[in-house]
Amino acid sequence: MMGPVLILGGRSDIGLAAAHALAKRGHPVQLAARNVQSLSAEKADIELRYNVAVSLHEFDALDVAGHEGFVDGLDVLPQIVVCAVGVLGHQAEDQRDVEAAAQVMRANFEGPASVLAVLANRFEARGSGTLVGISSVAGDRGRATNYIYGAAKAGFTAYLSGLRNRLAKKGVHVVTVLPGFVATRMTDGLDLPPKLTAEPAEVGEAIALAVEKKRNVIYVKPIWWLVMAVIRNIPEAVFKGLKL
């Protein structure tokens, strides 16, 4: 029997795509989201397609005090966790409004880090499990147009790297996903370059493969590795003058 996969941010297009890819391989699914009852159509869909059980769990990433209780409330401790929680924010407004900026940082970093801490400890005690965190290439270098989101993702990326290092010898594996552009609800209305943009299903499949193959850090479209290598290597003196 395969153990379940827990999707944190179960309404996310990427999270759902990961649920499909892993359910296809036989994993039961635990969908965790705010207002989770509205995901009953997703539950029926996944059950029908893959003949696996799907359970729904109320979850708010910002309710850090509730995270121990949330994990206790799961019917079984999952084998795999995919954290797809995130908000893009609105840079122009958030840079003027500290409270709004804090919300973006909390949803992308503090909340995910908190719930993964609880799960990491349980996995460590059990001696097995895989944690998948969806971070972003935006965290590789801060840019004027999205550095609040980017900074939070940078924190999350570092956090995942630290968890991986800590748990490497404890039977627990950590995957960092840096998806590049993905055509989801988050990016609706943005004019994304088609060659650099992945479909959620591609990301879901890449996540399932990364879990199977115990990959550490994945870029979904290989081209992004190159793009980011270039961006990271531009000297700061030049970088600060660029419009990106």
Partner 1 sequence: MMLSGWGRFPYQNCRVTKPTTEAEIAARIAEGRLIARGNGRAYGDSALSTTNTVDMRRFNRMIAFNGNSGQLVVEAGVLLSEVIATFLPRGWFPAVTPGTKFVTIGGMVAADVHGKNHHRDGSFGAFVDWIDLMGADGVVRRCAPDVEPELFHWTLGGMGLTGVILRVAFRLRPVETAYIRQTTIAAANLDDAMDVFEANQDATYSVAWIDCLSKGASLGRSLVMLGEHASPRDMGYPKRNTPYLVPVKRKLAVPMDAPAFALNTLAVRAFNAVYYRQGLKKAGTELVDWDGYFYPLDGIENWNRIYGRRGFMQFQCALPLANSATGMRALLEAISASGQGSFLAVLKRFGVQSGHFSFPMEGYTLALDFPVNAKTLALMAELDRLTVQNGGRFYLAKDSRMTPYTLRQADPERVAAFVKMRAETKAGAAFSSAQSERLGL
Ligand X SMILES: NC(=O)c1ccc[n+]([C@@H]2O[C@H](COP(=O)([O-])OP(=O)(O)OC[C@H]3O[C@@H](n4cnc5c(N)ncnc54)[C@H](OP(=O)(O)O)[C@@H]3O)[C@@H](O)[C@H]2O)c1
Instruction: Decide: is 152 part of the binding site for ligand X (CB under 6 A).
Output: no
Q: At residue 128, what is the residue type?
A: S
Long-range contacts, 47-55 (Cβ 8 Å, 24+): 49/20, 49/23, 49/24, 50/20, 50/23, 50/24, 50/26, 52/23, 52/26, 52/27, 52/28, 53/28, 53/29, 54/23, 54/28, 54/29, 54/30, 55/4, 55/28, 55/29, 55/30, 55/31
**Per-residue x/- track, 66-95, ligand X (CB under 6 A):** ------------------xxxx--------
Q: How far is the CB of 112 from ligand X (least distance, A)?
A: 8
Instruction: Decide: is 60 part of the binding site for ligand X (CB under 6 A).
Output: yes
Catalytic residues: 149
Residues numbered 103-142 forming contacts with ligand X, rule: CB under 6 A: 107, 111, 134, 136
Rounded-to-integer distance, Cα 49 and Cα 37, Å? 20
Near ligand X by CB under 6 A: residue from 34, 90, 143, 170 = 34
Rounded-to-integer distance, Cα 80 and Cα 101, Å? 30
Rounded-to-integer distance, Cα 15 and Cα 203, Å? 9
45 binds, among partner 1, ligand X, none (CB under 5 to 8 A by kind): partner 1
Task: Choose the binding region for partner 1 from 1-9, 45-53, 158-166, 232-240 (rule: CB under 8 A).
Answer: 45-53
Instruction: Decide: is 42 part of the binding site for partner 1 (CB under 8 A).
Output: yes
Residues numbered 3-32 forming contacts with ligand X, rule: CB under 6 A: 9, 11-14
Helices then strands, each counted (H, E), the chain: 10, 9
Q: Where are the alpha helices (DSSP H) in 60-168?
A: 67-72, 91-94, 98-105, 111-126, 147-167
Near ligand X by CB under 6 A: residue from 49, 185, 214, 232 = 185
Near partner 1 by CB under 8 A: residue from 48, 65, 92, 230 = 48
How many CA atoms lie within 13 Å of 117's alpha carbon, on the beta-carbon side? 14
Instruction: Decide: is 196 part of the binding site for ligand X (CB under 6 A).
Output: no
**Per-residue x/- track, 174-203, partner 1 (CB under 8 A):** -----------x--x--x------------
Q: Which residues bind ligand X (CB under 6 A)?
A: 9, 11-14, 33-34, 59-62, 84-87, 107, 111, 134, 136, 179, 181-182, 184-187
